[in-house]
Amino acid sequence: MTGNASDLESLCFNAMPMPVSSLEDYLESHSTPAGDVADAVERWAHLHTAQPQMVCGPYEGRLLSLLCRTVRPQCAVEVGSFVGYSTLLIATAMPPGGRLHTFEVNDERKETILRHLEQAQVSHAVDLHIGDALTLIPTLFEDNKRTIDFAFIDADKRSQQDYYDLLVPRMRPGALLLVDNALWGRKVLDLQHNHDRDTLTVHAFNEYVQHDARVENIMLDVRDGLLICSVL
């Protein structure tokens, strides 16, 4: 590209701010798509569940799978499978022989999750545990053995710190721990007006992680806020 300095400067500074929806469209259209099965699972959630917005969606889902592919976990954990959307995206990025343990407390979701994993051809890589992750994780992973390489917490927000405190001592140094909904509909940005219990709990958890010497953390403005922690 040719041009004088002021042309180049104006190219840098004269861009008009874009509406957010255009930004999201642009970001998504320049990211690898989630894929046909994931799209179908998201559609299924919209048709058959009362809270389809619980699905993390293609953009965050693709980030999860990209990070998982980078870490190459032998052992990954997901808390909150719902209909298996994020589960299948993480599972597709697992290396050969790696296992993803996903936890879902609602037993009515079992058949749906298994069917969706089958459709995505990732059943072989996933252990679905139906029950409360808070009681199941200590029975499956020994404290301080540090065997988990990758984890995604996306369950009830009031127990976020409990999941986190169960997982961190079980994760190897360098492992990645991701926590969804860190911005809680951006309510955490204005605590004066948003002092409901859930907002305060999410904020208290964010503060807890910020002061936790066991991790290095970064919060991203991805969808509802994604907190990424590298375990030290």
Ligand X SMILES: C[S@@+](CC[C@H](N)C(=O)[O-])C[C@H]1O[C@@H](n2cnc3c(N)ncnc32)[C@H](O)[C@@H]1O
Residues contributing to the site for ligand X (CB under 6 A): 54-56, 79-80, 82, 85-86, 103-106, 132-134, 154-156, 159
Collapsing DSSP to helix, strand or coil, 204 comes out as: helix
CB of 48 vs ligand X, minimal distance in Å? 13
- C-beta nearest to ligand X: residue: 80
**By C-beta, is 136 or 200 nearer to ligand X?**
136
**Quick one: residue 130, left, alpha or beta (phi over 0 = left, psi -120 to 50 = alpha)?**
beta
Instruction: Give the single-character DSSP code of 211.
Output: T
**Quick one: residue 82, left, alpha or beta (phi over 0 = left, psi -120 to 50 = alpha)?**
left
Tokens found for residue 127: 């252990």
CB of 47 vs ligand X, minimal distance in Å? 15
Distance CA 18, CA 103 (A): 39
CB of 88 vs ligand X, minimal distance in Å? 9
**By C-beta, is 86 or 206 nearer to ligand X?**
86
Beta bridge partners of 229: 177, 217
**By C-beta, is 4 or 139 nearer to ligand X?**
139
H-only helix segments in the chain: 5-13, 20-29, 36-48, 57-71, 85-92, 110-119, 133-140, 160-167, 197-210
CB of 95 vs ligand X, minimal distance in Å? 21
**By C-beta, is 54 or 220 nearer to ligand X?**
54
**By C-beta, is 110 or 145 nearer to ligand X?**
110
Distance CA 4, CA 16 (A): 21
**By C-beta, is 174 or 185 nearer to ligand X?**
185
Q: Among positive and negative, which fits the CA dihedral 204, 205, 208, 210?
A: negative
CB of 181 vs ligand X, minimal distance in Å? 8
CB of 11 vs ligand X, minimal distance in Å? 38
